[in-house]
Chain A
Amino acid sequence: MSSHIEVERLSKTYRHPMRVWKVIEAVKELSFTTDPGEIVGFVGHNGAGKTTTIKMLMGFVRPTAGRISLFGRQPGDPAALKRLGFLPERPYFYSHLSGRELLRYFCGLSDIPGSAAKGRIENTLRTVGLADAADLTLNNYSKGMLQRIGIAQAIIHDPELVVMDEPMSGLDPIGRREVKEIIRELKKNGKAVLFSSHILADIEDLSDRILIIENGVRRSFGPLTDIIPQQDISWHVSFAAPDRDRETLFAAFKGLRATSGHFTVTIATEQEMNATIAAVLERRYTIIEAGPLYPTLEEVVFRMKERSGAEVRHG
């Protein structure tokens, strides 16, 4: 099973628009791959280089260095584009066309014959929940509806991979939930999705693998559990014990908390957790739960940022 996207040591530099002697490094030696059927979340703060990377993937801008392969082809290759869907950030389309006309246009651009296009358009409109608004011109669409028609044009040709730049940006909670549902549905139908966002909860919620980029440099790439540094993982043991033993337990276990009918110990390492489990069992209490406690993606990114700031200060 070969990767959909292969990016190797990709870099992009720009000249500063006002001070032409100044070079801006938007992306620095970025490498990653995406596989069929997986959702990859691309995370970074504003200006981290996410959109520039996506533009290079799509062939809109040329890399300064490095290599991109899309389905084994160059970016912009028509054969690769046929297998790829794209949703730009804050999509905007011809305001005087209706939703149905726009999709007909994109069917034509995707070489879908007229006979097949009709059914495809109706199905896609239903998928994105715009069947009732299909004949309204796009200047009557709300932001959420524009986002959904944007997704519709990205999936109308049944691509294997959909690249979305900030698909949840500017949407209210309901709109965000709807877009997330569509992304989940795509995965369920065997499609791969690469989407960028700076809303970490969305990335955490949807992604199989997460690519973290900071100032154009890859900070981390993998499933959330793999990208968390070991020192950020804590361990816990929850057990049930009679309330009369409370004082003895607080004396015996450091970091103990009593919560509605049971006790929880939070410790720093797996070895300490095993020792705690042994101590609890020795006292003949019942273990309810034990295992690692992962920080949220937000905490991971925040700590990474703190550490890189400390590196810069000490370096």
Chain B
Amino acid sequence: MGKILLVARYTFLEMVRHKVLYAFVFFAFFILGLGVAITQMTIGNEIDIISDIGLGTIEIFSTVIAIFMGIFIIQKELSLRTLHPLLARPLTRPQYIIGKFVGMLLLAVVGILFMTAILWLMLRFYGGADRIVIYLPALYTIFLQTALVISVAVLCSSFVEPAVGALFTISFYLIGATSYNLVYLINRRSSEELKRVVNFMRYILPDFSHFNIKDNLIYGKGLENISLSFATLYAVAGILIVLAVAVIAFNKKEIN
């Protein structure tokens, strides 16, 4: 465990100092600023609009950071050969992979907390600071979803080139974000056979609808029909499966 946390710590330290990350932070500010502008131009509850744009921005930016930092995380070490001296120490490949994942997770936590702080400042400006407490479950599920995306990015980074990895991870995210609605639409209009196939696919394809609770919280439905425990279980199971595959793939890999 000590080695995993050590790798995680230095992974986090290296990434948090990366200039690319500050570009993402800048964009987060920009999008949230855009939210303020939109509230000036639209009629409705400003707090709801700010919340909607704010939570949406946090979700998108967490995912973008997860994908674009994650897909380079191991490939970069392979191509620059920073990995070789690490593996020449008493550090196992599973410890390395899991350490990298935990380091990315730390980065995601810090990123989400940072953007949440900006959202809170904006809500406070419009007199809705206490709403942030209501949104904590949504922030938690955004974190779960981000963690799942990070695990896929780490898996891709452990054995394919960054471009292919990015394509695969973005596809994973898009399928996850749309699979629930796609299945719903197909079930409404298709033949029984297709429905059976689609319902079977539901168990294989990622489904991020379990993490999408922000609308319920923004528009006052609370946590009705939502199971945070199931979302947690779903994310943890997914992460464990993906990381197990990553560890097996990386153990077999020849480090050239």
Contacts and interface: CB of A to CB of B under 8 A. Distances in A.
Most A-side CB within 10 Å, residue of B18, B84, B255, B256: B84
- Sorted nearest first, the 6 A-B pairs with minimum C-beta distance are A86-B88, A78-B90, A96-B17, A60-B255, A109-B89, A88-B84
A285 interface: no
Contacts of B44: none
A292 interface: no
Contacts, number: 74
A22 B92 CA distance: 33
A111 B91 CA distance: 10
B82 interface: yes
Nearest to B3: A109
A82 B89 CA distance: 7
Contacts of B88: 58, 81, 84-86
Contact of A58 (B2, B6, B87, B90): B87
Contacts of A88: 81, 84-85
B90 A81 contact: yes
B10 interface: yes
B13 A106 contact: no
B254 interface: yes
Interface of B: 2-3, 6, 10, 13-14, 17-18, 80-82, 84-92, 254-256
B90 A109 contact: yes
B255 to A, nearest CB: 4
Interface residues of A, number: 36
A101 B13 contact: yes
A219 interface: no
Nearest to A77: B90
A105 B6 contact: yes
A92 B10 contact: no
A60 B92 CA distance: 12
A85 B84 CA distance: 11
A88 B88 CA distance: 10
B85 A82 contact: no
